[in-house]
Amino acid sequence: MTDSTDAPPLPGRAVIEQQWSDAVFVHWRVDAAQVQPMLPPGVRADTFDGSAWVGLVPFVLRDFRFLPLPPVPLLGTFAEVNVRTYGIDEAGRRSVVFRTLEAEHLLPVLAARALFGLPYRWARIGRRTRDDHRVIEYRSRRRTGRVTEGPTTRIIVRRSESPADTALSRFLTARWGFHERHLSRTRWAANEHVAWPLVDAELLDLADGLVADAGFRGLAERPPDSVLAMPAGHPGFRTRFAAPIALP
């Protein structure tokens, strides 16, 4: 599988559909040797320009639904913040590998854990925009049920009007599935959607504990190597996921 912006057909019936909007992609280069121990068996670190990459990615997820049912009422729309890296398996399937995923609503968190084994965490997340939606801010604090609060993040970026379509942007975003260890097997879950609409963005402020909590201490303390975002005012797009399949 290449980093084409065209998604291949799903390898089976779609089981989940959702809409994504207002995504921000903040990425850092890291040594592939640092990432490799964090990947599921059968998956190796995928690299670009000699480096593995770690991303901090907030976005809004809308109209979550289990097909063919309608969207989950009230709880089907929420903000999410994930820490991720990238892998590739022996079949050449390039993937997102999630280290953590923060989400606002508990029910989708529990469903995603049960179906996909994804490392979702329940969190309080806020989002706001200004300057005609060009500046977007996400804030998140993980719910722990303890006296000590969980890790937090605050991300503020200014979105430009300059389209971003480079080999790096495609490497980071043209990912048609994810790998995850679930029920003692490494599994691949394919998805399909239109090509990510992206613009260059400027990081105005970042105060983050999620990247360190995911195993990359000190990384968020240095300037990122790539900042991208969906254009201001973009309505978003729908994506569909097939059921996960186990690697041989």
3 within a domain of the structure (yes/no): no
Q: What is the pLDDT of residue 73?
A: 74
The answer to whether residue 37 sits within a structural domain is yes
Q: 9 in a domain, yes or no?
A: no
pLDDT at 117: 86
Burial of 96 (0-12, 13-18, 19+ CB in 10 A): buried
Q: Distance (Å, rounded) from C-alpha 36 to C-alpha 40?
A: 9
Mean pLDDT by 10 residues, the chain (248 residues): 72 93 98 97 97 98 88 81 97 96 83 83 94 96 78 97 96 96 93 96 98 97 98 96 92
Domain residues for the domain of 20 are 14-246
- In the DSSP assignment, the letter for residue 243 is P
Q: What is the pLDDT of residue 180?
A: 95
Q: Does the residue 6 lie in any domain?
A: no
Radius of gyration of the chain (CA): 17
Question: Tell me, what's the pLDDT at 147?
Answer: 56
In a domain, 7, yes or no: no
Tell me, what's the pLDDT at 220? 97
| Confidence (pLDDT) at 148 | 59
CATH number of the domain at 220, please.
Answer: 2.40.400.10
Confidence (pLDDT) at 119:
92
- Size of the chain in residues: 248
In the chain, how many domains are there? 1
Output the six-digit token pair for 8: 């291949």
Name residue 56's beta-bridge partners: 26, 83
Q: Look at residue 2 and tell me if it is in a domain.
A: no
Beta-carbon count within 10 A of 67 CB: 12
Per DSSP, the residues of 41-89 read TTEEE--BTTBEEEEEEEEEEEEEEETTSPPPTTTS-EEEEEEEEEEEE
Residue 118's SS3 state is: coil
SS3 helix, strand, coil % of the chain, rounded to 5?
15, 50, 35
Residue 62 resides in a domain: yes
CA 88/CA 197 separation, integer angstroms: 23
Provide the token pair at 170: 């495609």
User: Is residue 4 situated within a structural domain?
Assistant: no
